[in-house]
């Protein structure tokens, strides 16, 4: 009889444990407000740096894509307006450009992107006033610009816009995981808040961009355009 009683008690204890486990629920705090994403310069300062070699960088540049395949960036160099890009045709290596100073830059392209604000339209596109589009951002050591004159789509749009091919040079790029930083030639990039921030910490020049909006920082850390967008 004693053994049977212990067995019944054991079964009851197990059932009560299972019932308690099954009935346990987690609830969200209605008063909890998630912290705002850090401004780009603060993010770039705080997150540990990933070595470029982890992304399989080449000798002349480091390129990566975000986890959601919406942004591709190249940490590369420029000769005047000619950029050394792995995903767009360019004249960087033309002999006529060899006399131009070579400077480090970061160039990014987006598949889905915000339109440029009027204050950031910095080119009249050969006098036409047409064709200045968003979807690209260029960081130089001393300045940053969102958008540029172009006709047609970027390679990023061709591959990863809603009707993109999902194949091409950008599809082959390594992923820089959310929340990671990478640095090359004094410029640093970080993926967070569904987008990318890049900057020159010493000069206080930076940007953040995602599909919802963008923020430009220059003049030693002053926000010159936009605001920190939601993810």
Q: Is residue 207 part of a domain?
A: no
Helix, strand, coil percent values for the chain (each to nearest 5): 20, 30, 45
pLDDT at 48: 80
| Phi and psi, residue 198, nearest 5° | -140, 150
State the pTM of this model: 0.83
Flag whether 204 is in a domain: no
Contact of 43 with 80, CB cutoff 8 Å:
no
Determine, yes or no, domain membership for 3: no
Q: Is residue 11 part of a domain?
A: no
Note whether residue 161 is domain-resident. Answer: yes
**Could you give the angle at the alpha carbon of 219 between the alpha carbons of 193 and 209, nearest 5°?**
20
Range of the domain at 170: 49-179
Q: What dihedral angle (degrees, nearest 10) is formed by the CA atoms of 182, 143, 102, 185?
A: -20
Instruction: Give me the pLDDT at residue 30, please.
Output: 75
> Splitting the chain (231 residues) into consecutive groups of 10 residues, what average pLDDT does each group show?
50 49 59 81 86 60 96 96 94 92 97 97 93 97 96 96 97 93 93 97 97 96 94 83
Number of domains in the chain: 1
Q: Which of 71, 34, 73, 67 is nearest to 52 (CA)?
A: 73
Q: Please check whether residue 122 lies inside any domain of the structure.
A: yes
Q: Assess if residue 126 is contained within a domain.
A: yes
Residue 223, Cβ neighbours under 10 Å: how many? Answer: 15
Helices (H), the chain: 2-23, 40-46, 155-160
d(CA 7, CA 199): 68
Read off the tokens for 105.
Answer: 């830059």
Residue 44 included in any domain: no
């Amino acid at each position: 009889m004693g053994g049977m009683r212990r067995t019944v008690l054991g079964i009851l204890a197990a059932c009560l444990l299972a019932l308690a486990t099954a009935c346990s629920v987690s609830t969200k705090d209605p008063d909890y407000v998630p912290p705002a994403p850090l401004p780009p310069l603060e993010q770039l300062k705080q997150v540990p740096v990933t070595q470029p070699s982890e992304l399989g960088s080449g000798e002349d540049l480091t390129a990566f894509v975000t986890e959601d395949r919406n942004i591709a960036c190249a940490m590369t160099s420029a000769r005047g307006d000619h950029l050394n890009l792995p995903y767009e045709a360019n004249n960087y290596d033309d002999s006529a450009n060899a006399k131009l100073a070579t400077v480090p830059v970061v160039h990014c392209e987006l598949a889905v992107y915000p339109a440029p604000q009027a204050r950031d339209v910095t080119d009249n596109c050969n006098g036409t006033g047409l064709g200045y589009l968003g979807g690209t951002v260029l960081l130089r050591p001393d300045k940053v610009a969102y958008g540029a004159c172009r006709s047609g789509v970027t390679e990023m749009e061709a591959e990863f816009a809603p009707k993109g091919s999902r194949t091409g040079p950008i599809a082959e790029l390594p992923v820089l995981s959310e929340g990671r930083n990478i640095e090359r030639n004094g410029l640093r990039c970080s993926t967070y808040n569904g987008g990318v921030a890049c900057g020159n910490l010493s000069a206080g020049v930076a940007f953040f961009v995602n599909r919802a909006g963008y923020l430009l920082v220059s003049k030693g850390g002053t926000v010159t355009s936009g605001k920190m967008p939601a993810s």
